[in-house]
Structure 1
Amino acid sequence: MSDAVNCEYCVNYSYDDDYECYTCEVNLDEDEMVKFITGNFNQCPYFKMGDEYRIVRKQM
């Protein structure tokens, strides 16, 4: 099993209207930012699976 992380599923990965692209909302240090930009950010300690349907389940 791969330990790679797909940022698209992370709660901290959101669209930034100012930059007109998706960005990580976590305040990454310089080394982490280089890994993020180059796509080599495996085993991210900040990864948290996003759950778009959490609110809907509470309403049921």
Structure 2
Amino acid sequence: MSRKKKRQRETAQPPSSAGLFRFFEESTDSIIKLRPEVVIIAASVFVVMVLLASSFISL
């Protein structure tokens, strides 16, 4: 196969994430809205609770 045909075949593909980005951008109306800080704090508290529970159970 010639190089020219190979290049044409490789460059003809569209970007795959363009449609997905647009889809997630449109759906911004949700019932639950949390700030990222709240999610991180809640996850950290949950991890600490699990670690404490596992240390008390192993006694």
Task: Choose between structure 1 and 2: higher helix proportion.
Answer: 2
Higher relative contact order (CA 8 A, sep 6+): 1
More strand by share: 1
Considering only CA atoms, is the larger Rg found in Structure 1 or Structure 2? 2
For normalisation by structure 1, the TM-score amounts to 0.26
Question: If the length of structure 2 is used for normalisation, what is the TM-score?
Answer: 0.27
